[in-house]
Structure 1
Amino acid sequence: MVTGARALSLVREQLFATIEEAESHLERFIVERHCSSLLQRAVESIGQIRGALTLIELAGAQLLAHQTLQIANDIPAGAGPEHDEHLMAICRGLHVLRRYLEQLRSGQDEMPELLLPAINALRLAGGEPELPESYFFSVRLDQRPLISATTRLGLRERQAQARRMRQMYQVGLLGFLRDVNGVASLRLMARALERSAALLHDQVGGYLPWVAAATVEGFAQGRLTATRERKQLFARVDRELRQMLGNELHEPARSTLKELLYLLALAGVEGAHPQEVMNAYGFERLGFTDAQLEAGKKRLAGPGHAVMHSLSAAIREELETVKDLIDLIETELRNGAEQNRLPRSDNFSRLYVQVGLLGKTLEMVGQENAGQVLQQCLPNISQFRDKSLVLDDLAPLADALLLVESLLGQPEGQGSLIDVPLEADGVQVSVANYQLGEAQALLHREAYKGLTDAKRAIGAFLDSRGDALHLATVPALLDTVRGALFFLGNPRAAELVRACTGYIQRCLIEGGQACEPATLEVLADALSSIEFFVESGGTESQDGTPEILDIAAQSIRALGWTSAAA
């Protein structure tokens, strides 16, 4: 028997007609609460919908219809305002169901995951717990992959390092939960989990950090959205690590493992570690990406709302137009000065119009003060044609444009154009802050690049079994990093980098110390911690959470190297 989306044509016309009837009866009942027959007809129609979907075995749609019917059955005749939420949930559920079936009718593949938001909304309205993202995902969870041991450390030392790795994971997790430096946070989490997997490989639950490391790597590479549920999942991983450190016989929750495997399948990346995990558990990547899933959910719920993003792009275009006009006027002024005559151009009028449009656009999106800064420039622009203009006359407008550009360049969620001061001094200060921020960003990029190159060189040193030539440039690279951190006002981080440089120079290059993988892993832990600190903007922890520089200092002490910062 044909089932699923291919069988939809068998019941298509009747199914859509029944959905329309159910929606019509329900809408009338919302207005005429005293008419219980309308509610009863709606319930009967929803029951028929569920029966038809059960017949053709359309899993996600069948479950959505079932949840809708459950809520509808619980609504009494003459339902008061206390049932408004339930009625709206039913209406939304029917709307999503109809849109989903329309997509299947147009030839799109089955994707029951699209229906989970509507299903969970109905479950919450009925007092039931939400279903997890992985509800429709099938995988065997009884597999126990063998994880190779990469360390010869004793149990006590492995436990100590594993606790330090959990601290490192917590630092990255905190940034991830707060949506701060998401990529850097995920990278740090992956590093901590990889090390934890190697250190805890012989425990009952040693497979969990091994799987979680692959999932975090896939999460970053696949650019998955950091939803509330996914944040909670990675927080559960931290709790599992805590229990594993306290009890080597602890068995991680199967639900946590399944969620991790689902996200890995959704990420669909081709890295060695993610592929190894997928092979071990016998599944392949899903037939859709996270971006496609989110786009599909928005299509079902209604048109997406990316207005602010579109407006930002429009503002940038208007800003570029104004800057181009200023460049043209500047060229005309220089040519006119050489020929001892005033420029005659309609660019002044165009500049007046474009600056006015840009100011009004900013005001329209609620950025009144920034718009007023530009509006205050208009009287001067209107006089440009009628007076002997010099380049200095363009300075106030250039400052105002730099201010707008700096505010558009702020990280999402930080700062606001609404708080722009209107005084001239305030504009100049804002521009100066922008330029200072650009310089600081350059130093951060240089420091991050230096740390990345140094870690790559250490990896090559390990792969070559101790060829010190690979480390020749590392001290100079780390000195550059140290200088950047010092000028950025992070003396402790700079001192920790100096300690790493000293260890590499004295022990690995000059001392010819044996190339021990475990030792180099600890050195990499220190550099990874400093790298995360740099990528996070170089800010100290203020809320009692594990400080990433403390973890770097602990790693340096574990190397047997002394430092004032450690």
Structure 2
Amino acid sequence: MVSGATSLNLVRDELFATMEEAESSLEHFIADRHNGSLLQQAVENLHQVRGTLNLIELAGAELLAQEVLDQATDIPAGAGEERDAQLSALSNALHVLRRYLENVEAHRQEMPELLLPAINDLRQAGGQSALPESFFFSVRLDHARPRTSPPSVDGAARESEARRLRHMYQVGLLGFIREQNPQASLKLMGRALSRLDSLFANEPRGRLCWVGAAAVEAQVDGQLLARKSRKQLFSRIDRELKQLFVNGQYEAPRGLLKELLYLVALADSRGPQATALSEVFGLTPLPFTDHLLEEEYQRLAGPGQAVMRSLSSAIREELNSVKDMLDLIERGTLQSDSLNSLHALLGKLSKTLGMVGLSSAGNSLNAQLQTVASWSEESAPQAQELHKLADAVLYVEGMVASLDRGERREVRPTQAQPGEEADSFALHQLNEARIVVVDEAQAGLALAKRAITAYLESGGERMHLSNVPFSLQAVRGGLWFLGQERAAQLVGACADYIQQHMFDAPHMPSEQMLETLADALSSLEYYLEAGAVMRPETQPSVLDLAAESVRALGMPLEV
């Protein structure tokens, strides 16, 4: 069964309709709090939403839906002002959940970490403890640390040194919490933990200092944000140090170690301590950065796609006006007043684009303002100047189109510097062409699967297969165009099998062979649906699975 982001499309319409009903019922209940039936309707809809998300295995979204359901169930009819914060958190969580699902649908990629702020806002409003940043992060904590040379001090001298180093850590921690030169403060904290690590390296209690020093190094190298949760995390280390000094058998809480290891993985630091720690624990870089998480969460908390579509439609209308003016300028028929209008319109668009997060597009138009201001009826614009402005407008159009569609991150136009808009727009057009090819490839595979089903149900009527080899060869060519040689080879092998063993052969293949062929096509279809053509590294094993099926069909494959 296909699950997760890929299967969201199967339930999208019903799921979003149910969420809309839940949001509407909740909004009406907030206005009329004595109407318990409105709240009950919202709860019933939330039950359905949670069940659907559980079915398609969107774990992060299901967790948020469960939290929303729990909080909504906890609110009584006739709730007073003391429940305002809880109701506000519920409304916000439903908005974030909808935006997250829109994001998953557009990007074909889950990122449940984006939901933690909304989940924790809900939990805080309900008087529960927050979930840690590392909630969705997995790592084995029982890896042994390589032994190091014993400390040069012992006994009372070591205790005295440890207290001094803890004080050093506290000084740095205070600066970090107050954000007074945080980088220097973190380096002081890291120095203290590294020194403490050298004092207790070969003892169980030294594990906290070892992992903590690497986490502080990662915080610095990765330029991680000074979130409240991280200030609390590093403050907790200080409290644990107090216990560590008085208890020779102290072992750090596993949850604390996991949280620190998450920071190391998130930062992908190349520092010596973080690198050594990553090797011991087998940490690999996460598929996102701290700043990407922050940026994407801000997008989730912002307007939904319907609002963005309306906004982008208005921007496109103004861009069309700009293009009409440019056309008149090129014909030499634009009046001086219109030139002033063009300048004002470009300035307005530049500010609007900046407000919706398309700063590079806004900067591209802003860079043209001085040139446009110099134009007049007496001083006609040069052809080169017109071309530069036209390039900027085309670049902005591409950026606005990505805003309108909620486009996948990896196919949005790259942020261009002023003067580089033409190259950026060309790359964007190429990426859009890639998406079209992928869509056509998916359609070709779906056609092949339907035809094979009809062939099987008709007892081997070959007319159902007449267009299949040709369609699959077209898919093969498209994948070659995308640089997906291995996927193309596998599709071609499936096409050859259908031609040789089904269309041209006098007898039907066995049911087992037909199932194997379906396995190969399903694997390739999943490879395309999961967006692996745009991000091949995300699904390396799917093509291996398809290759195994093709070999089982007896078709040769190049190594």
Which TM bucket (shorter chain)? 0.5 to 0.7
The reply on whether 1:114 has 2:76 as its aligned counterpart is: no
Q: Residue 81 and residue 173 in structure 1: after superposition, are their counterparts in 2 closer, same or farther (change >3 A)?
A: closer
Tell me whether 56-65 or 30-39 shows the greater mean CA deviation.
30-39
Could you give the per-residue CA deviations for residues 481-527 of structure 1, whole angstroms, max 9, x where no partner exists?
A: xxxxxxxxxxxxxxxxxxxxxxxxxxxxxxxxxxxxxxxxxxxxxxx
Could you give the per-residue CA deviations for residues 283-324 of structure 1, whole angstroms, max 9, x where no partner exists?
A: 212111110111111111127xxxxxxxxxxxxxxxxxxxxx
The reply on whether 1:291 has 2:282 as its aligned counterpart is: no
CA distance in 2, matches of 1:39, 1:168: 54
1:34-433 to structure 2, matched below 5 A, reads 34-149=34-149, 151-302=151-302
Runs of 5+ consecutive residues of structure 1 not aligned to the other structure: 304-566
Q: TM-score, normalised by structure 1?
A: 0.52
Could you give the per-residue CA deviations for residues 422-461 of structure 1, whole angstroms, max 9, x where no partner exists?
A: xxxxxxxxxxxxxxxxxxxxxxxxxxxxxxxxxxxxxxxx
Aligned partners of 2:207 and 2:251 also within 8 Å? no
CA distance in 1, matches of 2:293, 2:72: 28
Alpha-carbon shift at residue 82 of structure 1 (Å): 2.9
Counterpart code for 1:45: N
Q: Residue 147 and residue 159 in structure 1: after superposition, are their counterparts in 2 closer, same or farther (change >3 A)?
A: farther
Q: Classify the secondary structure of the residue corresponding to 1:142.
A: coil
1:501-520 to structure 2, matched below 5 A, reads none
1:15-26 to structure 2, matched below 5 A, reads 15-26=15-26
Aligned partners of 1:15 and 1:49 also within 8 Å? yes
Alpha-carbon shift at residue 78 of structure 1 (Å): 3.1
CA distance in 1, matches of 2:238, 2:147: 20
Counterpart code for 1:97: L
Counterpart code for 2:86: H
CA distance in 1, matches of 2:226, 2:213: 16
Alpha-carbon shift at residue 158 of structure 1 (Å): 2.9
Aligned partners of 1:144 and 1:207 also within 8 Å? no
Q: Residue 80 and residue 167 in structure 1: after superposition, are their counterparts in 2 closer, same or farther (change >3 A)?
A: closer
Alpha-carbon shift at residue 146 of structure 1 (Å): 2.4
Runs of 5+ consecutive residues of structure 2 not aligned to the other structure: 304-559
Q: Classify the secondary structure of the residue corresponding to 2:220.
A: helix
CA distance in 2, matches of 1:40, 1:12: 23
Alpha-carbon shift at residue 137 of structure 1 (Å): 0.8
Q: Which residue of 1 aligns with 2:557?
A: none
Alpha-carbon shift at residue 144 of structure 1 (Å): 2.9
1:485-496 to structure 2, matched below 5 A, reads none
Aligned partners of 2:30 and 2:87 also within 8 Å? yes
Counterpart code for 1:223: Q
CA distance in 2, matches of 1:66, 1:148: 47
Counterpart code for 2:281: Y
Counterpart code for 1:247: N
Q: Residue 238 and residue 34 in structure 1: after superposition, are their counterparts in 2 closer, same or farther (change >3 A)?
A: closer
Q: Residue 125 and residue 75 in structure 1: after superposition, are their counterparts in 2 closer, same or farther (change >3 A)?
A: same
CA distance in 1, matches of 2:55, 2:188: 49
Tell me the number of residue pairs that the alignment of Structure 1 and Structure 2 aligns: 304
Could you give the per-residue CA deviations for residues 335-390 of structure 1, whole angstroms, max 9, x where no partner exists?
A: xxxxxxxxxxxxxxxxxxxxxxxxxxxxxxxxxxxxxxxxxxxxxxxxxxxxxxxx
Aligned partners of 2:169 and 2:188 also within 8 Å? yes
Alpha-carbon shift at residue 126 of structure 1 (Å): 2.0
Alpha-carbon shift at residue 108 of structure 1 (Å): 4.9
Aligned partners of 1:162 and 1:200 also within 8 Å? no
Could you give the per-residue CA deviations for residues 190-222 of structure 1, whole angstroms, max 9, x where no partner exists?
A: 111111111111222211111111111110111
Q: Classify the secondary structure of the residue corresponding to 2:201.
A: coil
Alpha-carbon shift at residue 250 of structure 1 (Å): 1.0
Could you give the per-residue CA deviations for residues 6-39 of structure 1, whole angstroms, max 9, x where no partner exists?
A: 2211211111111111111111222233332222
CA distance in 1, matches of 2:161, 2:83: 55
Q: Classify the secondary structure of the residue corresponding to 2:277.
A: helix
Aligned partners of 2:278 and 2:284 also within 8 Å? yes
Aligned partners of 2:89 and 2:125 also within 8 Å? yes
Q: TM-score, normalised by structure 2?
A: 0.53
Q: Classify the secondary structure of the residue corresponding to 1:141.
A: coil
Alpha-carbon shift at residue 159 of structure 1 (Å): 2.9
CA distance in 2, matches of 1:300, 1:287: 18
Q: Which residue of 2 aligns with 1:10?
A: 10
Q: Classify the secondary structure of the residue corresponding to 1:241.
A: helix
